[in-house]
Amino acid sequence: MTASDPLVAGERAEVAAEARVVAPRGMGRRAGGVLKYVALALGALVMILPFADMFVGALRGPADVYASPPRYFPAEPQWGVYARVFAELPMRTWFANSVIVTGLITAAQVATSVTAGYALAKYDFAGRASIFRLVVGAQMFPFFLFIIPIFFILRFAPLMGGNDIAGQGGSGLLGTYAALCLPFVVTWYGVFLMRQFFIGIPDDLMEAARLDGASEYRIFRSIMLPLVKPAIATLTLFSFVYHWNEFIWTMTVTRSAPELQTLPVGIYLLQGAFENLEQKSLQQAALAISILPVIVVFLALQRLFVSSDFASGVK
């Protein structure tokens, strides 16, 4: 069969036609990929810009603020403003209080949510359905509805803070770290979240471990916990971010105990004292410093959001 054969010529024409069809498709895929990454880059820029403006804004002096035309980057950055924050404001105290309170609450919520969610998902006991209904129903009520009763419970706690057996004579638990942490030891959302993750794990894994002689604690620690790492990371981040920025309850409890004020409360109370631009840049620098721990926690936990050992555990 020669090259001039009609059959060979026909096959070559078909291949050329297919190539012409595939080429535009390949170019379309590449163009679609480029557009996707451009859109993602623009979205990332929009998300990052407010944080960048916070850090850069603290470096602007009065001349930069009133410059015409306006300029984003200051001509003479005030790098010393971040050092002045710790020299002129009680930032160390606020920062330490925020770390202590947020750390204790986050650890308590993760511990109670994981254990309660595991029990509700994997054990059959009397009242389990009623407890789960309570967990679901309690999420409909915001915390601020319970501020007044919780405040009085802590205020009149018997034998605490100078109170007698009837809860009179002292301040109770007010003015202590316990008052800041105890109302948040349990989170209904966290219990619900962990229960849903544990339900997704086959019971066959537990039965196999029991047949191998593993104790219930060993099953929970060595099998179940590694499989729900993404859920634990998610709950940890949500809890940390919320309570790092929590304001209403902390403001209520620390009115009589300024030494327990956290970063959000301390910075808010200083707003009225900042009247000129130089002092406002100090406040902006304090705000910028206050979000750094949140960024660090997110970067530390982000890999767990997209990785899960569940599939490998099932295999």
**Is 113's pLDDT higher than 90?**
yes
At position 217, the amino acid (one-letter code) is Y
User: Which 8-state DSSP code applies to residue 187?
Assistant: -
How far apart are alpha carbons 117 and 54 in whole angstroms?
Answer: 39
Q: Quote the pLDDT of residue 79.
A: 81
Cβ atoms of residues 10 and 3 within 8 Å = no
Look at residue 274 and tell me if it is in a domain: yes
Residue 184 shares a structural domain with residue 269: yes
- Is the model's pTM score more than 0.85? no
Give domain status of residue 308, yes or no.
Answer: yes
Do 22 and 107 share a domain, yes or no? no
Q: Is the pLDDT of residue 227 over 60?
A: yes
Query: Could you tell me if residue 61 is inside a domain?
Result: no
34 and 88 fall within a common domain: no
Does residue 117 carry a pLDDT above 50? yes
pLDDT by residue (tens digit) across 91-109?
899 999 999 999 999 999 9
CATH number of the domain where residue 270 is located: 1.10.3720.10
Is 117 domain-assigned? yes
DSSP category for residue 171: -
Q: Are 135 and 188 in contact (CB under 8 A)?
A: yes
What's the average model confidence in pLDDT over 275-281? 67
What was the pLDDT predicted at 106? 95
Q: Verify that 26 and 143 share a domain, yes or no.
A: no
Are residues 42 and 132 both part of a single domain? no
Tell me how far apart the alpha carbons of residues 198 and 207 are, in angstroms, rounded to a whole number: 15
Same domain, 141 and 267: yes
What mean pLDDT value characterizes the chain?
A: 82
3-state SS, residue 127: coil
Confidence of residue 309 (pLDDT cuts 50, 70, 90): very low
What does the pLDDT read at residue 236? 93
Q: Which domain holds residue 18?
A: 6-46
pLDDT at 315: 41
Residues 29 and 173 in one domain: no
Q: Decide if 76 is inside a domain.
A: no
Same domain? For 215 and 106 the reply is: yes
Instruction: Average the pLDDT over 294-311 and give the result.
Output: 70
pLDDT in tens, 164-205: 888 888 888 888 899 999 999 999 999 999 999 999 889 888
Let me know if residue 231 belongs to a domain.
yes
Q: 279 versus 226: which is more confidently predicted?
A: 226
Run of H or E residues at 232: helix 229-244
Place 9 in a pLDDT band, splitting at 50, 70 and 90.
low
How remote is the C-alpha of 296 from its chain's centroid? Answer: 11
Would the pLDDT of 239 be above 90? yes
The answer as to whether 53 is a domain residue is no
Q: What is the DSSP letter of 245?
A: S
Q: CA-to-CA distance for 82 and 169, rounded, in angstroms?
A: 44
On whether residue 59 sits in a domain, the answer given is: no
What is the tally of structural domains in the chain?
Answer: 2
Mean pLDDT, to the nearest integer, of 112-117? Answer: 95
pLDDT of 312 reads: 40
152 and 239, same domain (yes or no) = yes
pLDDT at 57 over 80: no
122 with 20, same domain?
A: no
Say which range, 173-182, 255-264, 279-288, has the weakest mean pLDDT: 279-288
The lowest-confidence range among 138-152, 181-195, 301-315 is 301-315
Q: Above 70 in pLDDT, residue 74?
A: yes
Convert the pLDDT of each residue in 12-53 to its tens digit: 555 555 555 555 555 667 777 788 888 888 888 888 887 788
Same domain, 251 and 109: yes
Query: pLDDT band at 314, cuts 50/70/90?
Result: very low
**Identity of the amino acid at 67:** A
Per-residue confidence (pLDDT) for residue 163, from 0 to 100: 84
Strands (E), the chain: none
The predicted structure's pLDDT at residue 103: 95
In this structure, the number of other CB atoms found within 10 A of the CB of residue 23 comes to 10
In this structure, are 23 and 91 located in the same domain? no
